[in-house]
Amino acid sequence: MSYLSGIIGLLNNDRIPMNPCTNEDLAQVKEAIGDNELPEAYIEFLKIMGRGTEHTFLRGHSCFMDELLILKEGGQELLEENEFSKKLTENDFVFWMSQGCMFCFFKLDEGDNPPIYFYSESTDQDDFYKIADTFTDFLLAMYTKDKDVFKKKD
């Protein structure tokens, strides 16, 4: 089953090159999470575009292999700097960060296409909140430049 076939179709239609992770990259990511399992949709992302895309899709965001393994540490530092009451756990995987002031993560035990949670230092939030029902929904919102991509979902 392909979780990302829709977004991949859009990228291909717009002739946006995608650079896949190597097997060594995948091994590094799996090693970083210890005994946990990565969601299938995220593994698919890494295998297809984990080393980046060209043109505008996700460019300028920290979400590709060149920065991926330091994102959780960056997220933890951001929470500490802002004296945020919540902490990231071993079950949380930070996969996206922007400008060092906001990040997204999923929980490693919430299925093969997990919900996405968000933190930003510029919002008045007292907890992490869900912004997408699935990883796939998050990617599609980023691709379509959905102005509500970082709004809280019920």
Contacts of 135 (CB under 8 A, 6+ apart): 3, 39, 41, 42, 45, 106, 113, 114, 116
Check residue 13 and give its pLDDT.
95
CATH code: domain of residue 94: 3.40.1580.10
Is the pLDDT score of 154 beyond 80?
no
Within a domain: residue 153?
no
∠ Cα 153 89 72 (to 5°): 85
Is the pLDDT score of 54 beyond 90?
no
Within a domain: residue 148?
no
Q: What share of the chain is helix, strand, coil (3-state, %, to 5)?
A: 35, 15, 50
Within a domain: residue 69?
yes
Check residue 104 and give its pLDDT.
98
Within a domain: residue 134?
yes
How many domains does the chain divide into? 1
Is residue 124 very low, low, confident or very high in pLDDT (cuts 50, 70, 90)? confident
Cβ-based neighbour number of residue 90 at 10 Å: 11
Is residue 60 very low, low, confident or very high in pLDDT (cuts 50, 70, 90)? confident
Within a domain: residue 154?
no
| Structural domain span for residue 72 | 5-143
Segment 30-53 mean pLDDT: 95
Question: pLDDT (tens digit, 9 = 90+) per residue, 6-27?
Answer: 999 999 999 999 999 999 999 9
Is the pLDDT score of 76 beyond 90?
yes
